[in-house]
Amino acid sequence: MSSAPSVSLVTLGCARNEVDSSEIAGRLAGGGYRLVEEGAPADLVVVNTCAFVASAKKDSIDTLLAAADTGAKVVAVGCLAERYGKELAEALPEADAVLGFDAYPELGALLEDVLDGHRPASHTPVDRRTLLPISPVNRPAAATAVSVPGHAAGGRAPGGHAPSGTAAGPLLTRKLLHAGPVAPLKIASGCDRRCTFCAIPAFRGSFVSRPAADIVAEAHWLAGQGVREIVLVSENSTSYGKDLREDRPLERLLVELAGVPGIIRTRLSYLQPAETRPGLVTTLATTPGIAAYYDMSFQHASEPLLRRMKRFGSRESFLELTRSIRAQAPEAGIRSNVIVGFPGESEHDLAELEAFLVGARMDAVGVFGYSDEDGTAAVDLDGHLDQDVVDERVERITALVEELTAQRAEERIGSELLVLVDDLSDGVVGRGEHQAPEVDGATTLLDADGIALGDLVRARVVGTDGIDLVAEPLEVLPAPSVDPDRLRAGVAG
């Protein structure tokens, strides 16, 4: 290539995909490509697709088609490409390449082939759970031979260089695509659960933890890029460390991250209720620098229906968990997603869910209607409900959730919270400890002249708009001084 080709990287889906795109950007920048803003003219458009549900698949395909309309070469990567591979390539000839996760280490060379008019072989999907040993403790060594997005090792792309703003070295290759005070940080990939409604483990693979040293090193790098809050992401964060032969590895990791200079808040996401132990609840509730925030994947509350989902728990056990959280941190944020209309769901099951939601009084709840997903066990279950019944139940539970979460927000009027300012596009907006980016509400600060992006503001809540809060600034706080030795001594048992 005579001059650096330009690449636009489009990311769809969850925060885990955002980390993967950040790794892809680091590899490409290190391989001599020139990254341009999404939507800007480019020689290549790389679309990091999502395949979570039908609507996400449609968004991914629409985005690929729109990219092709610009006249650029178009490459599909990410979950849709990994899950469907050749099938997607045949159905979507507008894409010049469909590449799976195993192509990421060689992505720079493959894009060069695309620019030269060649069409790389399309990805052939496999069940990625078969690529690693069944026993988690046997995976760490084997995982080095498998491409696991977001776990990049080797630093620089082969033959490349490390431009400014790219993390490079023995631990990771990453380039932030968006400046700002909040960034996701991946702590693990894959999942060993067998939920009957979920296809993710088949194309994301078995659960693999990142070594704590790699995660902490990346947190230091993020702090150097101006990040003040890190959001720890994975498919199942409560499983972190089960393959590392360590004692209480997640709690120890959280405490170590709380001591990273420049990082004022660490937020943990994607927790499984059945795996959430008392020590983790206490660590999140009491450790300075760790958000008292519980992103609990309840999915439902009827014990018989949860069993059909191949999940564990009940209304009573889930309410006991939420009571335990609030006993230690009354202002803690608790959020979840629930599925309604699952095959076999009865009116009694739905009433159990309603009773749980009323009792738990969470801060944010996503409500999803069940739909069949290719390759999942739920497709073959009896008791599928008519779509109009599913839609009615979604509407019913959504209305209840909106009422309950609005009430929960109103209960915060008069209280103080620490708001990290992360958006100045329409006023001064940030988030308290109970508000995660993208998925929860936000806090708008009134009379906020002089407050800058990334400021941590002590504020008093004076009003609400649904789950969003309105607050008056009281003071802008300096980054707190954290003693790592003191924090390590306080790991919850």
CATH number at residue 50: 3.40.50.12160
Residue found under tokens 């980390």: 19
Helix (H, G, I), strand (E, B) or coil at 421: strand
On whether both 225 and 365 belong to a single domain, the answer is: yes
Give Cβ neighbours of residue 259 (< 8 Å, ≥ 6 apart). Answer: 289, 482, 483, 484, 487, 488
Instruction: Answer yes or no: is 157 a known binding residue.
Output: no
Instruction: Answer yes or no: is 401 a known binding residue.
Output: no
Instruction: Answer yes or no: is 345 a known binding residue.
Output: no
pLDDT at 480: 54
On whether both 108 and 20 belong to a single domain, the answer is: yes
User: Domains in the chain: how many in total?
Assistant: 3
Instruction: Answer yes or no: is 14 a known binding residue.
Output: yes
Task: Decide: pTM greater than 0.85.
Answer: yes
On whether both 354 and 407 belong to a single domain, the answer is: yes
CATH number at residue 277: 3.80.30.20
In a domain, 173, yes or no: no
On whether both 406 and 428 belong to a single domain, the answer is: no
Residue that terminates a domain, selected from 354, 389, 411: 411
On whether both 279 and 232 belong to a single domain, the answer is: yes
In a domain, 157, yes or no: no
CATH number at residue 428: 2.40.50.140
β-pairing verdict for 6-11 and 34-36: parallel
On whether both 425 and 404 belong to a single domain, the answer is: no
In a domain, 155, yes or no: no
In a domain, 132, yes or no: no
In a domain, 88, yes or no: yes
d(CA 139, CA 317): 32
d(CA 43, CA 61): 19
Residue that terminates a domain, selected from 411, 443, 460: 411
d(CA 226, CA 262): 8
pLDDT at 173: 76
Give Cβ neighbours of residue 101 (< 8 Å, ≥ 6 apart). Answer: 82, 128, 147, 148, 149
Which pLDDT tens digits describe the chain residue by residue (493 residues)? 458 999 999 999 888 999 999 999 999 998 899 999 998 999 999 999 998 888 889 999 999 999 999 999 999 999 999 999 999 999 999 999 999 999 999 999 999 999 999 999 999 999 999 988 899 888 887 777 788 887 765 333 323 334 445 444 435 578 888 889 999 999 999 999 999 999 999 999 999 999 999 999 999 999 999 999 999 999 999 999 999 988 899 999 999 999 999 999 999 999 999 999 999 999 999 999 999 999 999 999 999 999 999 999 999 999 999 999 999 999 999 999 999 999 999 999 999 999 999 999 999 999 999 999 999 999 999 999 999 999 999 999 999 999 999 999 999 999 999 999 999 998 999 999 999 998 899 999 999 999 999 999 999 999 999 999 999 999 999 865 444 443 433 333 3
On whether both 320 and 424 belong to a single domain, the answer is: no
> Two tokens at 119?
């069409």
On whether both 247 and 374 belong to a single domain, the answer is: yes
Instruction: Answer yes or no: is 79 a known binding residue.
Output: yes
Choose among 435, 487, 464, 466: nearest CA to 294: 435
pLDDT at 161: 35
Q: Domain residues for 332?
A: 180-411
Q: Which residues pair with 333 in a beta bridge?
A: 293
On whether both 90 and 196 belong to a single domain, the answer is: no
On whether both 98 and 216 belong to a single domain, the answer is: no
Instruction: Answer yes or no: is 191 a known binding residue.
Output: yes
E strand segments, 105-199: 166-167, 174-175, 182-186, 188-189
Residue that terminates a domain, selected from 382, 411, 440: 411
In a domain, 492, yes or no: no
On whether both 419 and 371 belong to a single domain, the answer is: no
In a domain, 139, yes or no: no
In a domain, 288, yes or no: yes
On whether both 471 and 398 belong to a single domain, the answer is: no
